[in-house]
Structure 1
Amino acid sequence: MTRIIADISVSLDGFVTGPDPDPDNGLGTGGEALHTWAFSDDPDDRLLLREAIARSGAVVLGRRLFDVVDGPHGWDDTTGYGAGEVGKPAFVVVTSTPPKSVRLTGLDWTFVTTGLPDAVAAARERAEAAAADRGKDLDVVLMGGGATIRAALESGLVDVPSLHLAPVVLGAGTPLFTGGARRSLVQRSVTATSTATHLTYDVLR
């Protein structure tokens, strides 16, 4: 079964970037601390990262995050989703206007201009097709940014929130939650490592 997983790192005070994020500094001031776990040598962190990539049949991201990862200081062969792993998922970008060009031409990009639900639906199709090819269940991963994940949660599109709680207080930045509809969750797993506390929930329907 293909699940819709919202996967994001967050500070203790609820921010997914530091202050003043921009295309040249997508995580804002001090925001690099949110992703320390993803570059850690801690074996539990490495296992969690490998398992997350392995289950990813397609990845959804917003246009602002796309502009960061496809920008001149963005992803390369050694950084980015799936870097160093065998195979990479399809990427689906929610945007009002597709970009005129793409720097990361080696990745599979789809640009959806008709809203987040359609982007998630397109990603589900890609994930289910990849699952059929590989003979195992694969998921859709919403990797951000914060506004995209917040909208998906508020719209009831998410099955599994997966939060990586970083031991940092940023004080300001992009909040993960700003109100919205009440959602009831069931805690499924908690993994504490040397760099973060990894939390997984199921959304009650």
Structure 2
Amino acid sequence: MTRIIADISVSLDGFVTGPDPGPANGLGTGGEALHTWAFSDDPEDRRLLREATDRSGAVVLGRRLFDLVDGPNGWDDETGYGAGVVGKPAFVVVTSSPPGSVRLGDLDWTFVTTGLADAVSAARDRAEAASASSGKDLDVVLMGGGELIRSALDAGLVDTLSLHLAPVVLGAGTPLLVDAVPRALVQQSVIATSTATHLTYEVL
């Protein structure tokens, strides 16, 4: 069964970027520490990354995040989604206006201009098609940014929340759950590694 999984790294004080994020500084000041686990040699970190990306049938992201990953300092063969770990899933971008061109033209991009719910629905269709083709269950991953994930949680679009809690206090930046709609969660797993604490919750 295809699940909708919100997956994001967050600081101990609840930020998904450091202060002053922007086109040339996507994660903000100090924000690189949030993703140390994704580049770690810790075997458990590697396993979690491999298993998560291996189940990704489609990935949803917002326009600001797309502009960062498709920008000149963005993804490449070594730093893209699941780079060196799995194949490349379909990517669905929520935007009011599709870009005129795409640098990462070898990736499968879909731009949805009719809102987040339609983007998640389109991603589910892509993931279910990929599941049928591969013969295994694949999920939709909401990779961010923070506002997209908060909006998806508020709208009841998320089945599973996966947080990678980095051992850093950023003090400011982009908050994840500020002013979020109250919602009950059920803890599914807690895995501590040398670089992060990986938390998984079922969203009720």
Give TM-score, length-normalised by structure 2: 0.99
Which residue number corresponds to residue 145 of structure 2? Answer: 145
Contact persistence 2:98–2:111 (CA under 8 A): yes
CA distance in 1, matches of 2:85, 2:165: 24
Which residue number corresponds to residue 200 of structure 1? Answer: 200
Runs of at least 5 residues in structure 1 that lack an aligned partner in the other structure: none
How far does residue 85 in structure 1 lie from its aligned partner after superposition?
2.8
Q: Deviations over 1:59-78 (max 9, x none)?
A: 00000000000000000011
Which residue number corresponds to residue 61 of structure 1? Answer: 61
CA distance in 2, matches of 1:108, 1:83: 15
**Aligned runs of 1:9-158 on 2, under 5 Å?**
9-158=9-158
Number of aligned residues? 204
How far does residue 180 in structure 1 lie from its aligned partner after superposition?
2.7
Find the residue that maps to 1:8 and give its secondary structure. Answer: strand
Contact persistence 2:54–2:86 (CA under 8 A): no
CA distance in 2, matches of 1:53, 1:107: 15
CA distance in 1, matches of 2:86, 2:160: 25
Contact persistence 2:98–2:113 (CA under 8 A): yes
The one-letter code matched in structure 1 to 2:144 is G
Shift of the 180–85 alpha-carbon distance from structure 1 to 2, 3 Å rule, reads: closer
CA distance in 2, matches of 1:203, 1:152: 11
Which residue number corresponds to residue 166 of structure 1? Answer: 166
How far does residue 15 in structure 1 lie from its aligned partner after superposition?
0.1
Shift of the 6–30 alpha-carbon distance from structure 1 to 2, 3 Å rule, reads: same
CA distance in 1, matches of 2:180, 2:166: 24
The one-letter code matched in structure 2 to 1:152 is A
How far does residue 178 in structure 1 lie from its aligned partner after superposition?
1.3
CA distance in 1, matches of 2:113, 2:66: 14
Runs of at least 5 residues in structure 2 that lack an aligned partner in the other structure: none
Residue range with higher mean Cα deviation, 79-88 or 8-17: 79-88
How far does residue 23 in structure 1 lie from its aligned partner after superposition?
1.2
CA distance in 2, matches of 1:85, 1:13: 30
Which residue number corresponds to residue 184 of structure 2? Answer: 184
The one-letter code matched in structure 2 to 1:11 is S
How far does residue 87 in structure 1 lie from its aligned partner after superposition?
1.6
CA distance in 1, matches of 2:17, 2:151: 17
Q: Deviations over 1:125-160 (max 9, x none)?
A: 000000000001000000000000010011100000
Find the residue that maps to 1:122 and give its secondary structure. Answer: helix
Q: Identity rate of aligned residues, in percent?
A: 82
Find the residue that maps to 2:187 and give its secondary structure. Answer: strand
